Chains A and B, each alone.
Chain A
Amino acid sequence: MTSLRATPRESGMVSVVDVSGRITLGEGSALMRKMIRGLLEEGRTKILLNLGDVDYIDSSGIGELVSGYTAVKGRGGELKLLNLNRRVRDLLQLTRLYTVFDVHSDETTAVSSFR
């Protein structure tokens, strides 16, 4: 089981977070929360989560993504998703969250889509 890694980098005004591993109950979810809250505290409110190397998300992980989305939105910002693998995409479609998140498959397009 791969533990979660989340590495932020800047692309203009957008914080791109490269995430890899599993976003699941416990450490994975906690790390995601800490990462997003940390960026918000630094005033970074345009966040793009690159989930290309995330191979597994459970209901707690989904909850953490939603929590991050609402926290960022509450600060007047935007949280978007990039590079979902088939299972993560299917999970978001199944839970109807695909209609909530702005999902991209190309980083340049994703970055330029922030207002």
Chain B
Amino acid sequence: MTPETKHLEVTLGTQLESVGLAEEMCLRVAEAAGFGEDDCYRIGMSVREGVINAFHYGNCERPGKKIHLAVDLTPEKLVIHVRDEGSGFNLAAVPNPLAEENLLSTSGRGIFLMRSFMDEFNVVASSTGGAELIMSKRLPGRAAVSSNGEKAARRRES
């Protein structure tokens, strides 16, 4: 973590209220970081879906388990980590909700929404065995990093 990175971390209970709390907290950080209304909506929705995933699938709604939420605000992007205390999952094995046979499924769209709404999304195995969802969104005015690694990001002229 560089000195310019601002870090915020909170441990939440495995309860329904944690979903709204996490969403609200990240929305405040996103607003303070200068994200516009539409991006704040996408970030808030992604956090909500990430915590729902931890609450329902990761921790299986067991109140004894915790949900770990961390937010890093770097000069380039907002990075959000949601870690559960479950047994992890394979991202590649998650069914595609857009496939014809899954269109009328009543669940399974959370990962898809996070992938759609954030610039980067990944799931890694945490050191404690659970799943850690890592998602990020570039700050307003920051362009994508080009494929050859050259940083093309620059501040939008104000």
How far apart are B138's CB and chain A's nearest CB, in angstroms?
Answer: 20
Complex-state Cα separation, A63 to B97, whole angstroms = 11
Q: Mark A1-36, 1 if CB is under 8 A from B, else 0.
A: 100000000000000000000001110000000000
- Report how many residues on chain B are interfacial, defined by Cβ distance under 8 Å: 20
- Report how many residues on chain A are interfacial, defined by Cβ distance under 8 Å: 21
Whether B104 contacts A1 by the Cβ 8 Å rule is no
Docked complex: B84-128 residues within 8 A CB-CB of A: 97-98, 103-107, 109-110, 112-113, 116
| B66 partner residues in chain A, CB cutoff 8 A | none
| A70 partner residues in chain B, CB cutoff 8 A | 104, 106
Whether B110 contacts A59 by the Cβ 8 Å rule is yes
Complex-state Cα separation, A60 to B45, whole angstroms = 12
Q: Which of A70, A96, A99 has the most CB of B within 10 A?
A: A96
Complex-state Cα separation, A59 to B20, whole angstroms = 14
Whether A67 contacts B20 by the Cβ 8 Å rule is no
Whether A66 contacts B105 by the Cβ 8 Å rule is yes
| B103 partner residues in chain A, CB cutoff 8 A | 96-97, 99-100
Docked complex: A62-115 residues within 8 A CB-CB of B: 62-64, 66-67, 69-70, 87, 94-97, 99-100
Whether A59 contacts B98 by the Cβ 8 Å rule is no
Question: Interface on chain B toward A: helix, strand, loop, or mixed SS?
Answer: helix
Closest-by-CB residue of B relative to A65 is: B106
The one of A24, A59, A99 in contact with B113, judged by C-beta atoms closer than 8 angstroms, is A59
B132: interface (CB < 8 Å): no
Closest-by-CB residue of B relative to A91 is: B113
Whether B107 contacts A63 by the Cβ 8 Å rule is yes
Complex-state Cα separation, A24 to B98, whole angstroms = 21
Whether B20 contacts A1 by the Cβ 8 Å rule is yes
Whether A95 contacts B52 by the Cβ 8 Å rule is no
| A67 partner residues in chain B, CB cutoff 8 A | 106
Query: Contact residues of B with A, CB < 8 Å?
Result: 16, 19-20, 41, 45, 48-49, 52, 97-98, 103-107, 109-110, 112-113, 116
Could you pull out 5 A-B pairs where Cβ atoms are within 8 angstroms? Answer: A24-B19, A58-B48, A63-B107, A96-B103, A100-B103
Query: Contact residues of A with B, CB < 8 Å?
Result: 1, 24-26, 58-60, 62-64, 66-67, 69-70, 87, 94-97, 99-100
